[in-house]
A and B are shown apart, each in its own frame.
Chain A
Amino acid sequence: MDYDVVIIGCGIVGAACAYELAKHDLRVCVLEASNDVANGTTKANSAIVHAGFDPLPGTKMARLNVRGTAMMGELCRKLDVPYRNNGSLVLSLSESDDGILQKLYAQGVANGVPGLALLDRTQTLSMEPNLSPAVRGSLFAPSAGIVNPWELCLALAETAVRNGAELRLSAPVTAIAQTAGGFCLTTPNGKLTTRYAVNCAGVFSDRIAVMAGDRSFRIQPAKGEYFLLDKSEGTRVDHVIFRCPSELGKGVLVTPTVHGNLLVGPNAAPCDADDVANTAAGMDFVRVSAQRSVPGINFRDNIRNFAGVRANSDRPDFIIEASAAAPGLIHAAGIRSPGLSAAPAIGLEVLELLRQAGLELRKKETIIDSRKRVRFHALSDEEKNELIRTDPRYGRVICRCETVTEGEIVACLHTPIPPVSVNGVKRRVGAGMGRCQGGFCGPRVQEIIARELGIDPTKVLMDWEGTWVLSGETKGGTAQ
């Protein structure tokens, strides 16, 4: 056997599993279909650390959400991931909403959510003066927060790799065969064998199950669309602002992001698993709904739209269990919202399921459990000077909107999981995330990637395989 455990998929769930497993004396491998980690649903969601009053008491969702959220602050601190415990408000805008708030409150208490409080109109408006005057009251959840989901995923995966896990990118699993005491997995670059496999393939997790002969669930993908607004709108609200949940889901929320922008969305519409296109209807819906809770949002300051696909399934709960059809396969599948919040706890849950399935877990004697990266803009003037003295590339600002320096870009290209695309750099250091959306820095970033990785600039992708940027040289050729 090549490995003790192979994790299929490196979104937040796969990365959390890898992070926990790599703390043990095991041969762990993560197979990711895309050319980067966090390239699925993990990069396109609301980025909320939910308090945990939404899921029904007694579900895995409820338990893992509350536990994951409780772990989040410490985890993000250790791994240097932007996180803010800003709390959330669910608004009541009608009499029937008042009833729903009561129900959510009771549910939250049953789930063990700390500090919940029902606020009246005055209290609510004093906390958030830009809310609709129609607001009647709210449910305040102080434990809720916001996080950078792709950086959390990256930090978990990077730490796992530092602790000895292997990560293979551009390695989609295309077939799974049960062997004596394990599995043989096929990828385009060859086969590998493992004693255990963990299915963390997100919206494709039912396809992985089927490959292993398990047809016990089906994913029913549903898209959610967003607006991401300029920092000039970033202080419109301070807490995460939810509408009351309905049949259609949690409804359109308005929240600041950890980067200081304003995020507005999502809607919910059935879609194909790989369909992340924005639609005029979806965007209109989001715009109109959001204005019912926060009327003043200036959508002219939008800088980007995107869409994420929910791994909804034909089951009401997360599917985190040992496969009955394929012993040795553990599912962490159908992880829809609050999957991001629950992810740290899902990692521990999967560890426990593997132990129950016979995997012996021995903690390594020394493990790395910290991470640090330079965020130039956040340094003091003295620290900035010190850094530029040791490496002048920190004095050259490449991304002007977000003040990201060449030094940071070069550094990220030499981490354990180096990016291979312009957006890969963006997810790691924020270059191109700002108001000009890479208009200025895109070409420079492309050049730096090519230089540092020793590849031709025309080979540098925008993002995943196939997203080429340059078609060739001009007639005059390149100047330099």
Chain B
Amino acid sequence: MTAHELVVIGGGPAGLAAALAAWEQGVRDILILERDNQAGGILNQCIHNGFGLHRFQEELTGPEYAGRFIDLVKQTDIQIRTDTMVLELTEDRVLHTVSPQYGYETFRAGAVILSMGCRERTRGAISIPGARCSGIFTAGAAQRFLNIEGYMVGKRVVILGSGDIGLIMARRMTLEGAKVLACVELMPYSGGLTRNIVQCLNDFDIPLYLSHTVTDVRGRDRLEQVVVSQVDEKRRPIPGTEMVFDCDTLLLSVGLLPENELSRQAGVEIDPRTNGPVVWENRECSIPGVFACGNVLHVHDLVDYVSAESEQAGKAAAAYLRGERPAGTEIRITNGSGVAYTVPQHFHRGTDAVEFFFRVRAIYKNAAIRVMDGQTQIARFKREHMAPGEMENVKLPKVLLDRVQGDTLSVEIEEGAQ
């Protein structure tokens, strides 16, 4: 068994940024383990523009954004081991890995950063009825075929789900000469960023059917037809509203799930709302010395936030390795009305400013975010527009946090705020 100060699982944007931050804080023995044959994570297949607007004030492609971080890492002594899959993580921070070059190995880590990203929800996860034909892909798998392997997956396409990957793929397939017939969304609002709706659907006259879903899939061998129905307020299909699309391809963009098999194995506490670890304000998990950041913690829309969050985790891991331990009693954060989850889930009393990330449950116009200490309002932030597809964040400075009396804070939405 070899020992390292810091081991980072996953060489996507989260892992890279966390490792760099730890390096800047003086950690000198850092190992990044990445199962793919290159670092960069899911960004490698996102060849469209739109990354890095916040961070670099520039529109970069996914590989360019990742490339900037990889270049920075190369200027340090941080080791990146690609083609290396972490198979197991134990509670006492021992990692089991396998790779063609080094075989089966074990490592002991002073601190561990979890940055394994997420995977896509599949047809099974939402139990779409119908035939077992070919031609049904998750949008990300189709994206990999197009952008990495160079193959088209079909010619006439329906997309289920209006998440960002689905929207991006609507445009990508169209540019490749396919006909995208419809984008179908179960909810009464889109799950993607507004800019993607405009640039990927509207600009190409692709209709978006809100409050609709796929109710049948037909085709003995390859997909031949998809049946789309309107749904009622309880999201049940309404008989008589069926539309039939002749198509050979159905792309699913029905959500992402943080990949926490390793975390679960190690005994890290998982929040059922995010499907990611429960973390403190410094992104430390329920197991001391284990930190989490990026899509493994909660699904982000913008990689810029992933990088920022990961730097926090990297810094905290460095502090942990220096022997610093956060003091202060626990203050938990609960979801008030309209809030689906918050990250972090708790913080230490007396800490510096805390930035909360969360998602709302519905579309809100002219509403406010309120942070409550029991009946007392600690802070209130106005928002013209909030949607479940766009992650919200509010930052509470130390002066406000120091006023908290109780041991829970709640974040809630106040409707119709002026």
Contact = CB atoms under 8 A, between A and B. Distances in A.
Contact of B100 (A396, A443, A480): A396
Interface in B107-147: 119-120, 122-125, 127, 129-135, 138, 140-141, 144-146
B103 A479 contact: no
Contact of A477 (B150, B222, B237): B150
B221 A464 contact: yes
Contacts of A304: 122-124
A468 B35 contact: no
Contact of B222 (A384, A388, A435, A466): A466
Interface string A444-480: 0001000000000110011111111111111111111
Interface centre among B119, B124, B144 (most CB of A within 10 A): B124
Contact of A397 (B98, B134, B222): B98
* Interface size of B as a range: 35 or more
B83 A396 contact: yes
B221 A466 contact: yes
B151 interface: yes
Contact of B103 (A302, A303, A384): A384
Nearest to A393: B100
Contact of A388 (B103, B138, B248): B103
B98 A439 contact: no
Interface stretch (B152-160, B319-327, B407-415): B152-160
A450 to B, nearest CB: 10
A473 B129 contact: no
Contacts of B123: 304-305, 437
Contacts of B237: 280
Contacts, number: 150
A384 B104 CA distance: 6
B101 interface: yes
A385 interface: yes
Interface string A384-398: 110011001111110
Interface string B25-62: 00000000001000000000000000000000000000
Interface stretch (A77-85, A104-112, A145-153, A270-278): A270-278
A366 B119 CA distance: 50
A305 B145 contact: no
Residue among A300, A305, A394 with most chain B CB within 10 A: A305
B2 to A, nearest CB: 14
Given A395-B100, A468-B222, A303 B122 contact: yes
A435 B138 CA distance: 13
A43 B145 CA distance: 28
Contacts of B153: 469-471
Contacts of B154: 471
Q: Which of A279, A299, A469 has the most CB of B within 10 A?
A: A469
Nearest to B47: A476
A228 interface: yes
B131 A277 contact: yes
Contacts of A468: 134, 221-222
A462 B134 contact: yes
Contact of B119 (A393, A396, A405, A440): A440
Interface residues of A, number: 62
Given A393-B100, A471-B155, A439 B124 contact: no
B150 A478 contact: yes
A283 interface: yes
Contact of B122 (A381, A405, A436, A477): A436
A447 B144 CA distance: 12
Given A395-B103, A469-B134, A479 B150 contact: yes
A435 B259 CA distance: 10
B176 A470 contact: no
Contacts of B135: 469
Interface in A217-265: 227-228
Contact of A395 (B96, B101, B222, B248): B101
Contact of A279 (B124, B129, B148, B149): B129
A466 B220 contact: yes
A151 to B, nearest CB: 19
Contact of B148 (A228, A280, A435, A479): A479
A474 B176 contact: yes
Contacts of B133: 467
Contacts of A461: 134
B207 interface: no
Given A437-B122, A461-B134, A473 B85 contact: no
A462 B35 CA distance: 25
Contacts of B134: 461-463, 467-469
A276 B133 CA distance: 10
A388 B124 contact: no
B151 A305 contact: no
A465 B221 contact: yes
B222 A277 contact: no
A470 B151 contact: yes
Given A439-B119, A439-B138, A478 B151 contact: yes
A52 interface: no
Contacts of B221: 464-468
A400 B119 CA distance: 11
Contacts of B120: 436, 439
B335 interface: no
Contacts of B124: 228, 302-305, 437
A268 B149 CA distance: 42
A172 interface: no
Nearest to A465: B221
Interface string B88-103: 0000000010111111
Given A277-B132, A388-B98, A439-B140, A400 B85 contact: yes
Q: Which 10 A-B pairs have the closest CB atoms?
A: A466-B221, A478-B150, A392-B100, A395-B100, A462-B134, A467-B134, A304-B124, A384-B104, A388-B103, A397-B85
Given A305-B129, A436-B122, 20 more contacts: A227-B127, A276-B131, A277-B129, A277-B218, A305-B123, A395-B98, A395-B102, A395-B104, A438-B141, A439-B140, A461-B134, A463-B134, A467-B222, A469-B153, A470-B153, A471-B248, A472-B152, A473-B150, A473-B151, A474-B176
27 contacts: A227-B127, A276-B131, A277-B129, A277-B131, A278-B130, A280-B215, A283-B127, A381-B96, A395-B98, A396-B99, A397-B87, A436-B120, A437-B122, A439-B138, A439-B140, A443-B145, A457-B149, A466-B222, A467-B133, A468-B222, A469-B135, A470-B153, A471-B154, A471-B248, A472-B151, A473-B151, A479-B148
